[in-house]
A and B are shown apart, each in its own frame.
Chain A
Amino acid sequence: MTTRIPDAGMLNARPFNVRLFNAGTLPLVATLAIFALAYAVCVVQFPAMLSTRVAANLLTDNAFLGIVAVGMTFVILSGGIDLSVGSVIAFTGVLLAVLIGRAGVHPLVAFALALAVATAGGAVMGAMIHHLEMPPFIVTLAGMFLARGMAFVLTTDSLPVEHAFYATLQQLYWRLPGGGRLTLIAGVMVAVTVAGIILAHRTRFGANVYALGGNRTSAALMGVPVGATTIAVYALSGFTAGLAGIVFSLYTSAGYPLAAVGVELDAIAAVVIGGTLLTGGAGFVAGTFVGVLMQGLIQTYIVFDGTLSSWWTKIVIGALLFGFIVQQRALVWLSARRPSAGSAT
């Protein structure tokens, strides 16, 4: 009997179905491949799109979205959702404009304050979700109303921000050959993404987030601090939303209560396009980054085309989105076909 124990080991040693890449990273690979393909197609049609200018703009113009999407990725990985981010961006912008413009606070101080407020707001929502056991959807929807409402109370009009420091920050860019400029905020976005990747895949917190998304009760039974993690996740999302707000206010040097309407949906879309499951537990921050660029690319393509009416614009955006998703599905499906259990549905 005992002689056969190693034998059993041998049996199991047969690497269970062998494949090109592990099903986990597959959506990411697919997303990347398709983005590359899409960009190539664009360039073929409009050679001008190859310029460093366009590439750099892609980063700069989507910086705030990219940043907020990183936070959103964590929320979605944990099996939740955060609808408040768009409003928080607007609120932060207005708050900064008021603090700097009216109260004459130095921008850096204002930044710190804004980040603190946004993070705290996120934490509060997380606490409500955990302790009141209420669906994230409603809690963050309330947050969405509140943040924009506060923005309106601060000002209904749009406030410009004139401050030497802002000007200098905006002038901070690295001119690429070919007229492109890698701006500060683009740098911030990339930095946040990298930080997100590390946080997600290289820390205990990250693992706990995935655990939560996988199965709350199991996670609890494995000793994951569910409450603390939930709160931390929404605090993080609040923080990135605040940071995105700062970036947006640098981007437009103004605070506007109607800014960033519907950004939450763009962010969620970017995350999901990036291959993260909305049900939580599976996905990649890197994928989100590509998802953001993908959306930016679609916008740029439309503008370059320049012949589309308002309605055709919408239709084409949808069509491109569809084409992209379907290709992604196809790729994943083709190489993810497994003979064994688990792929039941």
Chain B
Amino acid sequence: DLMFPVLSYRTGPFGANGAENADGYLDYFALLNERDGGIGGVKVQTPECETEYKPEKGVECYESTKGNGALLYQPLSTGITYQLIPKVTADKIPMLTPGYGRTSSANGKVFEYVFNYPANYWDGASVGVKYMLDQEKGDLKGKKITLVYHNSAYGKEPIRTLEELSKKHGFTLKTIPVDSPGQEQKSQWLEIRRDKPDYVLMWGWGVMNQVAISEASKMGFPMDKFIGIWWAGSENDVKPAGEGANGYKALTFHGVGKDFPIFKDIETHLVAKGKASNGGKNIGTALYNRGLYFAMLAAEAAATAQKIHNTKDLTGAQMRDGLEALKLDKARLEALGLANFAPEITASCENHGGSGLVAVQQWDAKAGSWKLVSDFMQSDREVIDALIKADSEAFAAENKITPRECK
């Protein structure tokens, strides 16, 4: 069997998010098993392990599952990702961290076993700015952009990119941290109310998002000028603010809603048979779709690997090859029942980070749903690639890694 351990978090402060994500992830594999008999005819196993979003537990989960022929890890937490980077490399099991994790692991020469396509935080920051550029007809000179961020390693990720971009586009950047967990943000939002920035970007997580969105709406900040990162773009984040959240935007690297053929399959093969996780109650939420997408990437890479190595059962190293050779084009997406669900991906030995295509979604409070309000847009590679190069090389030097040669 193909083993895809699921590191999930369903308890603790972020449990609500973790549950939706994990449901999507599990359901996709369950669908493959039910509908197609697995991947390439081999059943998929998805043992779940609760990490509680804690690094220690994540490591425990990793160690307890890796021995059974685990093919791929998606730890769903940047903290855990950092613990696992050296370990997966030593154990030769690939790890995929789309939209989180260590951004510079996009450099496949240094990070052999770590992947983070289709997009990373720096792509997110860049596309966020690009979207604003579009809105402002290509000119951000003299505009004020404020970044509200979770005061942690995660929250600080976009700062460097944004600083570069502010130089490039001539906007003024202000950064306001919110300490974890972030239930009290009066100071921060009063400050924003006084500053009246043109846009607010938010790198938030957990309860911080809900409070920020409700404070912003109460203070009358125009919600359509308020853009969150994809981890601040779930139903959970906007619902507590009720009507006030209407118009709030968030970045995303995959489609939203249930309007894709695959959801019919899920309905017939899983929900109807009572096999959907959590009774199928999370189907179609933003994070469910993300979990689904993560699983799809894994499954596609596995199928690719099976083809390359001409074998049904895989090893971690073969899976790595599959991930590096992943080609996800329009046709393939359509065949999967996910037409236009996500941008195309072409991975390679050196490119573990994908192309960095990101779109913007907007919340419609009446309908209670997200919808995409932009195309998938290309991030500013010029700025980002330089940053990735610098950071991955620093990592290589610090850990005495000689970057491998890619043919």
Task: Determine if chain A interacts with chain B.
Answer: no
**Chain B contact residues, CB within 8 Å of chain A:** none
**Chain A contact residues, CB within 8 Å of chain B:** none
